[in-house]
Structure formats: structure tokens, C-alpha cells
Amino acid sequence: MKPEILISFGKEPVPNYPAAVEAFGGTPSGAYLPAPEPERYDALLLSGGGDVAPARYGEENTACFRVDEARDEAEFRLIDAFLRAGKPILGICRGHQVLNVYFGGSLVQHLPGAEKHTPTPAGDGVHRTRALAGSFPAELYGAEFSVNSAHHQGIGRLAPELEAVQWAEDGVIEACRHRSLPVWSVQWHPERLCLRHARPDAVDGGVLFRWFLEQAAKK
């Protein structure tokens, strides 16, 4: 049976996420402000979107935009519920940042080298990264590989329960894993590196989706 994946997203439609989940072996169910009902699903996917409210990590808003405090609250409740149920969670872009804040970390509200990570008129930027030996990115893609990029913020203070496992050349944390729970995150966008969005200058994002769905099926 295909694993059922709950996708949390913002007010704007995000068709690339459910398309990738379905294409690589899962059954997607997405919602804006979804109810925390982990018993109905096998895993949670936190998608990209606007910035997390900086009050969540004890700061004033100096550079955040598209803040949606209702979404922040809903996703914190979702994370609570799926953690209690012991079910896998994958955060992508904003989801990567939400997880770090949830576990007690902070964000850089605007990266000093943000131009290296924000999209160009032609689409997502691409840059090289390195991965920690033995981590999930290294097992999937190797020690060094290129990913896409579409964000202006990044992890600042890393949450104590998380471990950074992938970095951009300028030091921005590109992936994390929880030290003991089935929780993973990436700053980049695998849903825009697979299927019709696959590109020759970066990795195949479908490999990550397929791996996450395998983790969901195990649970």
C-alpha cells in the first residue's frame, strides 16, 4: 500500500509537491492549515513558502516578509502531533527553517550572501554543496553535488537536537537531521529538480522523495 503523506502548505497552490509524492510512490493529501491528525497519515511534509514570524525565535522583524502566523501555529501543532506519533517528517525550504525554530534554533532574517541563494529571472539558482559522510544527503547523492536555491533566509543558531549534514560553499546549512527522531530537512527544492523540472546541472530531486517515501512506508 502506498504511504499517505500530509503536505502542509501556504495560501498559494503548490502543485509540484503532490506531483512528486504521487510520482515516486506515495499518496499526497495537502491542505492550508491542516488539522493535526497523524493517525490518518504515514508522514508529514512541510513545504516551502513565506518567512517564519521572527517572534518565534525571540527577534523583532527586520527583514521578513510574507509572514503567516496562522500557518506557523498550525505547523507547530502538526510537528507536535507527528512527533508524538513517531511518524517521519520532512521539511523543505521554509519547512527546513520551521523545524529548526520548533526545536529551539533561530534564523538569519536576510543572508549576507542572499543573492547566491535567491532565484534569477531564468529560475532557481544552482550552487555546489558538500555533505557529511554517512548522512542521508551523502548516501543519496555523494560527498559533493549541486542543488537549486530559492530563499533569502537561512539557519542561524542550530537547534540543539538537530545536526547539520549539508552545507553550501558559503556555509549556509542546506540539510539537517534530528539526532534521534525520524525528522529530516533540506533548504533546497527537490520538487523542482525532478519530473518535468529535472535539470542537467543539479541532482535528481526524485531520489530524495523516493527515499522519504520509503521511510514513511516503514512506519
Contact 190, 206 (CB under 8 A): yes
Round to whole Å and give the CA distance between 31 and 13. Answer: 9
The 3-state DSSP composition of the chain as helix, strand, coil percent (nearest 5) reads 30, 25, 40
Closest CA to 187 of 216, 159, 149, 217: 149
Nearest to 32 by CA among 19, 16, 20, 14: 14
Is 153:109 a contact under the CB 8 Å cutoff?
yes
Q: Which residues does the annotation mark as catalytic?
A: 93, 189, 191
φ/ψ (deg, to 5) at 9? -140, 175
